[in-house]
Amino acid sequence: MHPEQHYFFDQGLSFECQRCGTCCTGAPGTIYVGPEEVAPICDHIGLDPLEFERRYLYPYKEGFSIREDPQGNCLFFNNGCGIYPVRPFQCSAFPFWFANVRSQSRWHDIARQCPGIGKGRRYSKEEIIALARKTINI
């Protein structure tokens, strides 16, 4: 993605998380947690890092992924995100993942699933590109 290129989101896109859990539940996936994100989550839930890793994480790339239940739901989602204030970057960047903003068609597909799209503050083209770039390899 290049800032000088034109995208369907040149005028920005609005989003405000409704904490519905649609992106936290359902089909299995990867919930990337970078090494620097472990300590804030541990502090928030009151677990030491080794116990946190044992109970909630598995190795993935340079960090970890949060385990999911058999239905593909994040273990921290229970009528809302239990770690919302310290949730991983991947979670806070949703819906502006590269896979979601690569085309207007894909964005419309995600918007049908996510009630927060079209609400809240407007993210600028530059903000969207920055978030999307950081999620390319997640």
pLDDT band, very low/low/confident/very high, at 80 (cuts 50, 70, 90): very high
pLDDT tens digits for 90-124?
A: 999 999 999 999 999 999 999 999 999 999 999 99
pLDDT over threshold 80, residue 1: no
Kindly state the DSSP code that residue 28 receives in the 8-state scheme: -
Task: Enter the tokens of residue 69.
Answer: 């239940």
pLDDT of residue 38: 98
Strands (E), 17-115: 32-33, 57-60, 63-66
Kindly state the DSSP code that residue 5 receives in the 8-state scheme: S
CA dihedral sign, ordered 120, 121, 123, 127: negative
Residue type, 26: G
pLDDT of residue 3: 65
pTM confidence score: 0.90
Residue spans of the domains in the chain: they are 7-23+94-138, 27-86
**Mean pLDDT across 83-91:** 97
